[in-house]
Chain A
């Protein structure tokens, strides 16, 4: 069975401070990991995926298979980063069929 754990329901940081949103996963195979974000009154949208190894809006996330973690980081928080963040794991069958499992989400609040 696959599971995604986000231990913090709420994370409050001051503007300019570093941000780290924690995500741990449980899966016996080779998963694909994602971060999705939901800004106020907007739909859930992809922020980044581990296979892209890119930085989006200053955020990065590194897959650590030894610690089964995929923490989201940003060196300097901005007010516009305030949103709900979901870590997600995709475990597919052959043929590309996906079962994507989401964590419970962490609300990031950036204090001006």
Chain B
């Protein structure tokens, strides 16, 4: 079992561009959550997907959107990138209500 896998591992984008990050959950998991981790900070909750719908959302603007597919994989989309969006983006999967299993993250740099 490969666990939670995220792609790409690193990404460099320019201000104003759009980005899509991808996540495959651990086998058997049906729920995907996304987190943003800035340098020196803890992970900040962006949103959680279950049954292809956003179920919970943190304090992030509408520029951050997501999707969950029937195979439980998920995408995080960020539009109109700002310098402040530079961070490590973590995907975590779980069975609904159970502890999180994290991927290694995607390092996004916005220049």
Q: Which residues of A contact B (CB under 8 A)?
A: 4, 6, 34, 36, 43-46, 49, 86, 92-93, 95-105
Given that A43-B103, A44-B102 are known contacts, is A98 also in contact with B97, CB under 8 Å in the complex?
Answer: yes
CB–CB B42/A104 < 8 A: yes
Q: Mark B19-62, 1 if CB is under 8 A from A, else 0.
A: 00000000000010101000011111100101000011010000
CB–CB B40/A99 < 8 A: no
CB–CB B56/A45 < 8 A: no
A86's nearest neighbour on chain B, judged by CB, is B42
B43's nearest neighbour on chain A, judged by CB, is A102
Residues of A close to B76: CB separation below 8 A:
none
Contact of A96 among B35, B96, B99 (CB under 8 A): B96
CA distance A10 to B39 in the complex (A): 15
* A-B interface pairs (CB < 8 A), number: 58
Residues of A close to B35: CB separation below 8 A:
102
CA distance A95 to B103 in the complex (A): 24
Q: Which residues of B contact A (CB under 8 A)?
A: 3-4, 31, 33, 35, 40-45, 48, 50, 55-56, 58, 90, 94, 96-97, 99-105
CB–CB B97/A96 < 8 A: yes
CB–CB B104/A93 < 8 A: no
CB–CB B102/A101 < 8 A: no
Given that A34-B99, A43-B102, A97-B50 are known contacts, is A102 also in contact with B55, CB under 8 Å in the complex?
Answer: no
CA distance A36 to B99 in the complex (A): 10
CA distance A71 to B41 in the complex (A): 19
CB–CB A97/B42 < 8 A: no
CB–CB A97/B103 < 8 A: no
CA distance A46 to B40 in the complex (A): 19
CA distance A95 to B96 in the complex (A): 8
CB–CB B45/A104 < 8 A: no
7 A-B pairs closest in CB distance: A96-B97, A102-B42, A97-B55, A44-B102, A96-B96, A46-B99, A99-B56
CB–CB B43/A86 < 8 A: yes
CB–CB B41/A100 < 8 A: no
A2's nearest neighbour on chain B, judged by CB, is B45
Q: List 21 A-B contacts (CB under 8 A).
A: A4-B42, A43-B3, A43-B105, A44-B90, A46-B100, A46-B101, A86-B42, A93-B55, A93-B56, A95-B96, A97-B48, A97-B50, A97-B96, A98-B31, A98-B97, A99-B45, A99-B48, A99-B58, A102-B43, A102-B45, A104-B41
